[in-house]
Structure 1
Amino acid sequence: MNRVSTATLTALLIGGSVLTGGGVPALAGGAAISHPQSDRHDDAPGAQERVVRAWVQLWNGDYALAGRIVSPDVRVRAALLDGGDGSAVRGPAGMVDLIGQIRGAFPDLRFTVEVGPIVDGDHVVVRWVADGTYGGGFPGATAAPGTTVRFTGTDILRVRHGLITDYWLNADTLLLTTQLGVKAG
């Protein structure tokens, strides 16, 4: 059973991550992350929708997609319970770390798009639903492992040249923590 610290889960569930270090990011196993050419102009109609499909697949555990759709300079913005702002996520590796840590408590978590994508220039908005099974290790949870969970959220992405450069997250953590029986403390 994966156990994740209170601070890590608190940050992850509302859009933050653990600082993954500086330098050039790499995926698990040391695989290099390749990025599309910066002079490629992939902002044609449909490009944002393709990125959103890959984004959902990434959140569903296809970590190899991070290097193809997440900018090395991605900026994550979220209001964290610990007062952080999500800026600790660095590049594709940081995004993989964020996703991997939340999936540690919910290993079969499955994201689907409920509304969208709504495209406005280089911005894309999706409302998502996450369904899964609690695997244990969530700080303060009184729910038994095996408890099913369902919660929602909204992602706003800025997509430039086929890469996500900015990510704003709003997730219904109250709904999730209620299902897990977390008591306010």
Structure 2
Amino acid sequence: MNSIDTGLLDNWLALWNGDYILAYRLVTNDFTVHAALLDGGDGSALNGPTGLVGWITKTRAAFPDLRFTVEVGPIADGDHVALRWVATGTYDGGFPGATARPGTPVRFTGTDFLRMAGDRIAEYWLNSDTHLLVTQLGVRP
């Protein structure tokens, strides 16, 4: 990817904003995730479009109005693209260990690194500020 395909990145954000059908056009069938997940996993079990949609759906269950926007980027280098995002939304309940009341606003940030294979995303590295999120939700160790 020599130039940044802003349409693809717009669709990537739309996918995270709840337009799940886009996963089947955006990511490869062998798409892989690299992330430190809240359940202690490393993301390796999240494969392909179906795995990605399942993860996004689970994330959005506690924050149905969660909205992702780009704060910095995108920045491209060869077949890699990076961007920093901000997520805002309202807690709706159901997050394990949360003491926050439903209706609590949340805001957290993260960085996505994407490896492209042709016109699709093949790998995804995520670094998000989950510490800030769980603090806003009142999760205690």
Contact 2:4–2:75 under 8 Å retained in 1: no
Give the match for residue 3 of structure 2.
45
Measure the CA separation in 2 of the matches of 1:85 and 1:98: 13
Is structure 2 residue 125 aligned with structure 1 residue 168?
Answer: yes
TM-score scaled by length of structure 1: 0.73
Aligned residue-pair number:
141
Measure the CA separation in 1 of the matches of 2:17 and 2:81: 19
Measure the CA separation in 1 of the matches of 2:36 and 2:20: 25
Contact 2:86–2:109 under 8 Å retained in 1: yes
Is structure 2 residue 96 aligned with structure 1 residue 132?
Answer: no
Work out which of the residue numbers 52, 59, 67 in structure 2 matches 1:102: 59
2:14 aligned partner, one-letter code: Q
The 1:99/1:46 distance shift into structure 2, 3 A limit, reads same
Q: Once the 2 structures are TM-superposed, how far is the Cα of residue 84 of structure 1 from its aligned partner?
A: 2.5
Structure 2 unpaired stretches of 5+: none
Measure the CA separation in 2 of the matches of 1:64 and 1:135: 23
Q: Percent of aligned pairs with the same residue?
A: 64
Q: Once the 2 structures are TM-superposed, how far is the Cα of residue 143 of structure 1 from its aligned partner?
A: 0.5
Give the match for residue 7 of structure 1.
none
1:94-153 alpha-carbon deviations (Å, 9 max, x no partner): 111110011000000000000000111110001000000000001111110000000000
Work out which of the residue numbers 136, 148, 151 in structure 1 matches 2:108: 151
Measure the CA separation in 2 of the matches of 1:77 and 1:45: 24
Q: Once the 2 structures are TM-superposed, how far is the Cα of residue 52 of structure 1 from its aligned partner?
A: 1.3
Give the number of the structure whose alpha-carbon radius of gyration is greater.
Answer: 1
Work out which of the residue numbers 32, 38, 52 in structure 2 matches 1:75: 32
Structure 1 unpaired stretches of 5+: 1-42
Q: Which has the higher contact order (CA 8 A, sep 6+)?
A: 1
Q: Secondary structure at the match of 2:59?
A: helix
Q: Once the 2 structures are TM-superposed, how far is the Cα of residue 78 of structure 1 from its aligned partner?
A: 1.3
More strand by share: 2
* Superposed CA RMSD: 1.2
Q: Secondary structure at the match of 1:51?
A: helix
TM-score scaled by length of structure 2: 0.95
Runs ≥4 residues deviating over 2 A: 43-47, 79-84
Give the match for residue 16 of structure 2.
59
